[in-house]
Amino acid sequence: MLTAVEGYYNGSQIVMNEGVTLRKGQRVIVTILGPLAEETGKGIDLAKYMGRGEKMFNRDAGEYIKELRSDDRG
């Protein structure tokens, strides 16, 4: 079984937002997320990510793939 469950750390333990039954010794994977943008006061500048795929959309995809492979396939 692989299940993702949202939760939070209350200062002493991890509290899951959904009721999930675990058995003693059951393996889990815990992912620690960074602070939310609202918590840090920093937003995400989406403009710096825009236009990255522009080169591909200005011509045929096959031609684009050939150019990508030309460096690694000689």
What was the pLDDT predicted at 12?
Answer: 94
Please report, for the chain, the start and end positions of each structural domain, with discontinuous segments joined by +: 7-73
Judged against a pLDDT cut of 70, whether residue 7 lies above it is answered with: yes
* CA end-to-end distance (rounded Å), the chain: 44
What confidence category does residue 37 fall into, taking pLDDT thresholds of 50, 70 and 90? low
- In 26-63, which positions are buried (b, 16+ CB within 10 angstroms) versus exposed (e)? eeeeeeeeeeeeeeeeeeeeeeeeeeeeeeeeeeeeee
Percent of the chain at pLDDT exceeding 70:
62
What confidence category does residue 53 fall into, taking pLDDT thresholds of 50, 70 and 90? low
In angstroms, what is the C-alpha Rg of the chain?
Answer: 22
Q: How far is CA 65 from the centre of its chain?
A: 25
Judged against a pLDDT cut of 70, whether residue 52 lies above it is answered with: no
